A and B are shown apart, each in its own frame.
Chain A
Amino acid sequence: SQTIHQWPATLVQPVGSPLSLECTVEGTSNPNLYWYRQAAGRGLQLLFYSVGIGQISSEVPQNLSASRPQDRQFILSSKKLLLSDSGFYLCAWSEGSEYEQYFGPGTRLTVT
């Protein structure tokens, strides 16, 4: 069966520091991968998605970036965090042409 991992689970970082969040999927090949953010009291906002290695599409302009160095690895990064980057970050995957997306456990990021 497929599983999705995210780490770390929680992170507290000062403004201006770098960020690296990692997501890996097991049990599937060539998944579509997604990064979402949930701000407090709001829905999920799609940040990036990838349909293959090295293929990244950005949904919103921001100081975040994403990379997919391996088939089942998706990384969310920032060179300098802003206070507004605080939130709950979720990685998700989907199978080929299937519409259902399956989410990881999330990372709670607090920028201080």
Chain B
Amino acid sequence: EAGVAQSPRYKIIEKRQSVAFWCNPISGHATLYWYQQILGQGPKLLIQFQNNGVVDDSQLPKDRFSAERLKGVDSTLKIQPAKLEDSAVYLCASSQNTGELFFGEGSRLTVL
């Protein structure tokens, strides 16, 4: 079974530029998550989708971050404009209803 796919793996941009990350969850997983993992910290939930609807986006900085999951399958996370403190690994995860989250390998963002 294919795992969670994410791209790009690495991205370097300058502050105030924009960036987009893509995620394709495990087939059949209705729930999709985006987490931000700053170096040396645990993952922090940014947004959770159930099919194509948002379940929780309380920790998403909506002035610069946006995410969508239009057809209830793959998802895109966008940052515009980026700040230095956005440097982190952006992890996508998916789950069924068993509780276990399956994570992708992440997209590492460096903002200069």
* Chain B binds chain A: no
Binding site for A on B (CB under 8 A): none
